[in-house]
């Protein structure tokens, strides 16, 4: 069997140790995937990944469809060739991009009409097109196209998102079976939606499990809700998912969120947080965040993190120089800090796995809670209220 999840330790809704087997190798879980949205890790070569412990990478099917195009990626050897990466790859289908590009009001029964992010005009991004694009990109794991609500506390919108997500999941599950299922070398994961409402998440999870996907993701979190609501959404989803299938929490990457989601039974993560924070002069350390633009770092001759063995910290570039480089808009500081942040999260997940194996997870969890307290989101700007079922605008 090309795909298999072995549960080594843990249960349905508590912290778990496992191994996810794919045609391109195995992934020790819990694990964090760096994000190469457009087929490249922003600012970093793929050669840095293995040494820091990365075993799986994420790319985005919608953005690769937009540029350079599916045909070009195929000619380059599929998404693995595009990434120059021989390990496992997962592609997101574009559901979150529909939310982030402001196209929720253009969702219709058969898909969503979204602005082409490169050339303008409109793309009718359907479940069929999302599935076929990922089939041709040839990642190890493809995600179903779902609807990610931008107001997780709005019950009407959350219920509508579940309805559309399940309808599209059925379509893509049939296509997956038609093309040979996971036996052809590609797994298909379903995505649990439901906002902050436990009953909606339960209903969505139960129907997805009945469709028997190769793995399951928790979606629709980290879209503006606070930490407590985010974790409640995770807990309301994982408890209904099979013990013997991988669970993937989409788009979550702060140390606190990672550890608390692991405590609730999540195995796999991705997020742009570590590299984006690095590009904006924020370093992740075991003493918390370091905001390198702060004046106190002006004359600081110490390395980025004196206790870190990563190449960025061992390079000898002092904090004061990094601060000056950020001020001058140099590229090197952004690369060094984002590389350090990627290493930090890989090291955190390695420590989590060791703590789980050694029965010390709660000690590590408490340390992370102390070092990384929740940072609650500020008020969101008012937007026109979305009306589920509204007809998309004429084009």
Task: Tell me the mean pLDDT in the region 107-122.
Answer: 92
List, in sequence order, the alpha helices (H) in 226-272: 227-238, 255-262
Tens digits of residue pLDDT in 32-42: 999 999 999 99
All domains of the chain in start order, with CATH: 4-267 (3.20.20.105), 277-371 (no CATH)
Bigger pLDDT: 383 vs 89: 89
What does the pLDDT average to over 386-391?
49
What average pLDDT does this structure show over 57-75?
97
Q: Work out the average pLDDT over 72-82.
A: 98
Distance CA 333, CA 326 (A): 6
- Kindly compute the dihedral angle of the four CA atoms of residues 270, 237, 379, 112, in this order, to the nearest 10 degrees: 70
Average pLDDT across the chain, whole number: 93
Cβ(91)–Cβ(134) under 8 Å? yes
Q: What is the mean pLDDT of residues 21-32?
A: 98
* pLDDT given for residue 376 in this prediction: 61
Q: Where are the beta strands (DSSP E) in the chain?
A: 4-9, 17-22, 25-29, 31-33, 57-60, 89-92, 107-108, 111-115, 122-125, 141-143, 187-192, 215-218, 247-249, 268-270, 282-285, 288-291
pLDDT at 240: 97
Please state, in angstroms and rounded to a whole number, the distance separating the CA atoms of residues 371 and 381: 30
DSSP-derived letter for residue 144 is: -
Please, are residues 129 and 142 in contact by the beta-carbon 8 Å criterion?
Answer: no
List Cα–Cα distances, 314 to 18, 163, 164, 277, in angstroms: 32, 51, 49, 20
Cβ pair 144, 188 in contact under 8 A: yes
Mean pLDDT calculated for residue range 106-110: 93
Give the model confidence (pLDDT) of 233-278 as tens digits. 999 999 999 999 999 999 999 999 999 999 999 999 999 999 999 9
Residue 92 CA to residue 107 CA, distance in Å, equals: 18
Scan for tokens 């499990």, then name that residue: 209
What element of type H or E holds 317? none
Nearest to 95 by CA among 181, 159, 164, 141: 164
pLDDT at residue 311, as a whole number: 96
What pLDDT band is residue 378 in, cutting at 50, 70 and 90?
low
For residue 65, the SS3 value is helix
Residue 390 has pLDDT above 80, yes or no: no
pLDDT at 375 (0 to 100): 78
Q: What is the pLDDT of residue 101?
A: 77
Q: What band does 94 get if pLDDT is binned at 50, 70 and 90? A: confident
Q: What pLDDT does residue 383 have?
A: 43
* Strands 141-143, 187-192: pairing kind: parallel
Cα–Cα distances in Å, from 27 out to 140, 225, 267, 322?
A: 12, 30, 10, 34
For 84-136, the DSSP string reads T--S-EEEE-SHHHHHHTT-GGGEETTEEEEE-TTT-SEEEE-HHHHHHHHHH
Edge-to-edge strands, sheet with 141-143? 31-33, 268-270, 247-249, 215-218, 187-192, 141-143, 89-92, 57-60
Neighbours of 36 (CB within 10 A): 24
Of 198, 204, 228, residue with least CA distance to 217: 204
Percent of the chain with pLDDT over 70: 94
Model confidence pLDDT, tens digit, residues 130-172: 999 999 999 999 999 999 988 889 999 999 999 999 999 999 9
Radius of gyration of the chain from its Cα atoms, rounded to whole angstroms: 21
392 pLDDT band (50/70/90 cuts)? very low
283-320 residue pLDDT tens: 999 999 999 999 999 999 999 999 999 999 999 999 99
Check pLDDT > 50 for residue 394. no
Q: What pLDDT was estimated at residue 223? A: 86
Q: What residues act catalytically?
A: 92, 270
Quick one: residue 363, left, alpha or beta (phi over 0 = left, psi -120 to 50 = alpha)?
alpha
The Cα 175–Cα 395 span in angstroms is 29
Which pLDDT does position 387 carry in this prediction?
54
Give the integer Cα–Cα distance in Å for 267 and 269.
7
Confidence grade of residue 13 (pLDDT, cut at 50, 70, 90): confident
CA distances from 128 to 61, 111, 125, 169 (A): 13, 9, 8, 10
């Amino acid at each position: 069997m090309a795909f298999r999840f072995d549960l080594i330790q843990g249960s349905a809704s508590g912290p778990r140790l496992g191994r996810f087997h794919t045609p391109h190798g195995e992934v020790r879980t819990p694990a964090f995937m760096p994000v190469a949205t457009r087929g490249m890790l922003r600012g970093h070569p793929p050669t840095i990944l293995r040494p820091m412990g990365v075993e799986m990478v994420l790319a985005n099917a919608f953005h690769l469809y937009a540029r350079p195009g599916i045909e070009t990626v195929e000619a380059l050897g599929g998404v693995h060739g595009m990434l120059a990466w021989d390990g496992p790859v997962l592609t997101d289908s574009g559901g979150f991009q529909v939310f982030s590009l402001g196209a929720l009001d253009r969702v219709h029964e058969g898909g969503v009409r979204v602005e082409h992010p490169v050339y303008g005009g409109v793309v009718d991004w359907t479940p069929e097109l999302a599935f076929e694009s990922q089939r041709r990109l040839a990642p190890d794991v493809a995600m179903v196209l779902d609807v990610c609500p931008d107001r997780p506390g709005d019950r009407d919108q959350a219920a509508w998102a579940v309805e559309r997500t399940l309808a599209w999941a059925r379509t893509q599950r049939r296509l997956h079976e038609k093309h040979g299922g996971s036996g052809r070398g590609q797994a298909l994961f379903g995505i649990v939606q439901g906002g902050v409402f436990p009953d909606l998440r339960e209903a969505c999870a139960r129907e997805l499990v009945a469709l028997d996907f190769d793995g399951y993701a928790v979606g629709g979190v980290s879209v503006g809700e606070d930490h407590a609501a985010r974790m409640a959404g995770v807990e309301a989803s994982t408890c209904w998912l099979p013990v013997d299938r991988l669970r993937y929490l989409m788009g979550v990457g702060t140390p606190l969120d990672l550890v608390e989601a692991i405590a609730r039974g999540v195995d796999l993560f991705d997020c742009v947080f570590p590299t984006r924070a690095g590009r904006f002069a924020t370093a992740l350390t075991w003493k918390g965040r370091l905001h390198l633009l702060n004046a106190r770092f002006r004359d600081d001759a110490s390395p980025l993190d004196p206790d870190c063995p990563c190449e960025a910290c061992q390079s000898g570039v002092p904090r004061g120089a990094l601060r000056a480089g950020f001020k001058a808009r140099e590229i090197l500081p952004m690369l060094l800090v984002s590389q350090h942040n990627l290493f930090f999260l890989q090291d955190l997940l390695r420590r989590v796995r060791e703590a789980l194996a050694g029965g010390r997870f709660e000690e590590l969890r408490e340390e992370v809670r102390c070092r990384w307290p929740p940072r609650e989101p500020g008020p969101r700007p008012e937007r026109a209220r979305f009306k589920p079922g509204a007809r998309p605008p004429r084009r």
